[in-house]
Structure 1
Amino acid sequence: MTILTVTHVEDSWTAKAVHEALLREGAEVLSYEVDRIPAKFRMSVGNDSSGCVSHIEIDGRIVHADEITAVWHRRRNNAAPVTSVDLPDDMIQGILRESAASFDTAISLLPCFHLDDPAAVERARNRPFQLAVAAELGIDVPRTLTTNNPVEAREFIKSCDGRVVAKMLSSFGVRGEDNREKVVMTNRIEAEHLNQIESLSICPMTFQEDIPKALELRITVVGYEVFCAAVDSGLLAHGQTDWRRAHDELYRHWQPYDLPKQLRDNILRLLDRLQMNYGAIDVILTPEGRYVFLEVNPVGQFGWVQTSTHMPISNAIAGVLSGRLPRRVDIFPANFRTFSGVGSAALIGANQEVSDVG
């Protein structure tokens, strides 16, 4: 059993935790670090009338396509690797793009289980689509508007009585005066921000009604396993709008939380519709007892949840990769895709609902 992990050099310790769990499963673990291409990896993909044959070489180990039993698409780093080739910058960028495209092709052609199919991951990143599917499944969602039209933004904010937060659809960082990169987090819209609303013509933004919070839930789904943790972000004023601002202080306050069965089943249906075995879902529990879905991150972090609650998330990921634990959607990429088990109906027909999956 050989598991290939698609990751990057500076990946967090959570990837190592899964690797160690895979070793305990008896697997050989190979790491394809995308920011080490093209110099540190080699690949070949051949096509003729008999079909397609491919192999990759990692640190001198040649691995043929049929040797890989599963691929974990853990997390990529968009930073381009440094190359010592003395060529113009535009040529270097072209080389890096071609290298990434070639290696991605080789990985996508591996005829084995993928956690999860990169095409499904990319589709699942579409947050307005997530909200639409969640609402269709009966999950409570907040009123949301993504726009670059200042007039429509003002009208939406007014319709929410001014209680609105702003966020970005894409995840990116900006550098401050100290040259340190900072993540753009969720922010509450204040009166002074309305004076800058015309800047939407430069860059769109997502506006969402500000949902009152009793607890914030992080629901990590791995196959059929559902791990839920909760925290009261209101314990600290600077963590109320976006708990990540108070992550270091709130870290120890995360606790396991029992989801209501209906919400749990609906979350699993959502993952079926998104064709995902893995998802990190954010939900708000309001003081009135409403569960409001915010988003699902198809490659979301889970390390702090595992550390603070001791829930065995990394073991579950290893179990799904090895086949010890059942897979919700048995995904094979490209022409090798097959359907099996609960969840296949969601792949066969986008509008066909999946049966209950306790």
Structure 2
Amino acid sequence: MKLESDLSASTVLVLTEPSDKSADLVVRELERRNTRVFRADTGDFPLSVSVSAWFDGSWDGEIRSPDGAVGLRDIRSVYVRRPTAFTFPPGMNDAEQRFAAREARRAFGGLLMSLPWCSWVNDPSKAADAEYKPLQLATAAACGLRVPRTAITNAPGDAVGLRDRLGDSVVYKTLSGASVPDGQRVSLVYTTPVTVADMADDRIALTAHQFQERIPKTRDVRATVVGRRVFAANILVADEDAGELLDWRADYTALRYEPVSLPESVESALLKMTDHLGLAFAAADFVVTADNTHYFVDLNPSGQWGWIEDATALPIADAIAALLTGEDQ
């Protein structure tokens, strides 16, 4: 049970990497409201960020960094953007680092989760659950959103049957993020058209694969949910003669953006979905057909939005700051 907010708590804790430009926009809005902000990255623990806390009926203590300190009882809300992994001294071996990371996560996260008045954007446990794509699709459909026919398999022998279920035009989509770290470089796996032969490849057996019917879209829509507000933008190919871009993430330079309103039924269903998942923030993607049918395809509990605000002037940072300070309640 969540208790009433501690009226003395006044600081917004922002957890993210140093180069996070979206977080910069929110911090600027918070500072404009004269709200104290303490920004830290978990990747700096324990080398330059430290925690000291004690329990006597409730937790007290503080988080310290080279830029200052914040008392646990002074944290009114936490904005979890994109914090990086804990970083340990190179002298620790792999086993020691794995153990230390587990202990750090339980301590750092546990202390923040123990603050009953503290609100989250987003609660880490709810955000982690919402990352599961099968759960997303099932929840979206249950809340009234249209969802493309989808299959998850590692059985190449089912290829023909899957084609019959999904239709003649099928795409492959990752179940996690598009980026695949490979040593010092990062490969990107975008939405890709596949054939029956592709789905029958023996390598399909090596892990789970997500295949989905290809929706004949005329545009993409990114809908950013902040509390009970939805900021939607069309994502369009700048050169209309260039044809469809299957995965718009593959070429940002080819895109243009414009604010748009979701159909009332779609917005209502999307808010129902984020409520069900326990999310205060989400970046949801839709593909839209010629008859304006919106198909939900993906949701990211910590998705990027700064570039959308820059391109459209949608006041997303202002809405997040209002949520963190309780102004929208």
Q: Normalised by the size of structure 2, how large is the TM-score?
A: 0.89
Shift of 1:43: 1.2
Q: What is the 5 A alignment of 1:219-230? A: 219-230=223-234
| 1:176–1:46 distance in 2 versus 1, CA, 3 Å | closer
Q: Give the residue type in structure 2 aligned to 1:226.
A: V
| 1:35–1:316 distance in 2 versus 1, CA, 3 Å | same
Q: Is the 8 A contact 2:152 2:209 kept in 1?
A: yes
Secondary structure at 1:214 match in 2: strand
The residue aligned with 1:100 is 105
Q: Is the 8 A contact 1:238 1:245 kept in 2?
A: no
Q: What is the 5 A alignment of 1:32-71? A: 32-48=40-56, 50-59=57-66, 61-71=68-78
The residue aligned with 1:16 is 24
| d(CA) in 1 for partners of 2:133, 2:110 | 26
Q: Give the residue type in structure 2 aligned to 1:55.
A: E
Shift of 1:257: 0.8
1:182 aligns with 2:187: yes
Moved more, 234-243 or 39-48: 234-243
Q: Is the 8 A contact 1:5 1:30 kept in 2?
A: yes
1:254 aligns with 2:257: yes
The residue aligned with 1:241 is 246
Structure 1 unaligned residues grouped into runs of 5+: 327-358
Moved more, 313-322 or 224-233: 224-233
Q: Is the 8 A contact 1:239 1:245 kept in 2?
A: no
Task: Find the partner of 2:291 among 260, 270, 288.
Answer: 288
Shift of 1:183: 2.3
| 1:44–1:239 distance in 2 versus 1, CA, 3 Å | farther
Shift of 1:52: 3.5
Task: Give the alignment's Cα RMSD to 1 decimal.
Answer: 2.3
Q: Is the 8 A contact 2:283 2:300 kept in 1?
A: yes
| d(CA) in 2 for partners of 1:23, 1:151 | 58
Moved more, 94-103 or 273-282: 94-103
The residue aligned with 1:350 is none
Q: Is the 8 A contact 1:148 1:205 kept in 2?
A: yes
Secondary structure at 2:217 match in 1: coil
Alignment: residue pair count: 318
Structure 2 unaligned residues grouped into runs of 5+: 1-9
Secondary structure at 2:283 match in 1: strand
- Cα displacement string for residues 244-263 of structure 1 (whole angstroms, at most 9, x for unaligned residues): 1111221xx11011211111
Q: What is the 5 A alignment of 1:32-181? A: 32-48=40-56, 50-59=57-66, 61-78=68-85, 81=87, 83-84=89-90, 86-111=91-116, 112-171=118-177, 173-174=179-180, 180-181=185-186
| 1:67–1:191 distance in 2 versus 1, CA, 3 Å | same
Moved more, 312-321 or 158-167: 158-167
The residue aligned with 2:13 is 4
Q: Is the 8 A contact 1:230 1:257 kept in 2?
A: yes
Q: Is the 8 A contact 1:44 1:56 kept in 2?
A: yes
Q: Is the 8 A contact 1:44 1:106 kept in 2?
A: no
| d(CA) in 2 for partners of 1:275, 1:256 | 26
| 1:120–1:88 distance in 2 versus 1, CA, 3 Å | closer
Moved more, 50-59 or 215-224: 50-59
Moved more, 150-159 or 235-244: 235-244
Shift of 1:162: 2.9
The residue aligned with 1:28 is 36
The residue aligned with 1:306 is 309
The residue aligned with 1:347 is none
Q: Is the 8 A contact 2:155 2:204 kept in 1?
A: yes
The residue aligned with 1:341 is none
The residue aligned with 1:214 is 218
| d(CA) in 1 for partners of 2:175, 2:19 | 24
The residue aligned with 1:356 is none
Structure richer in strand, relative to its length:
2
The residue aligned with 2:5 is none
What is the aligned-residue identity percentage? 30
Q: Is the 8 A contact 2:60 2:73 kept in 1?
A: no
Shift of 1:113: 1.1
The residue aligned with 1:340 is none
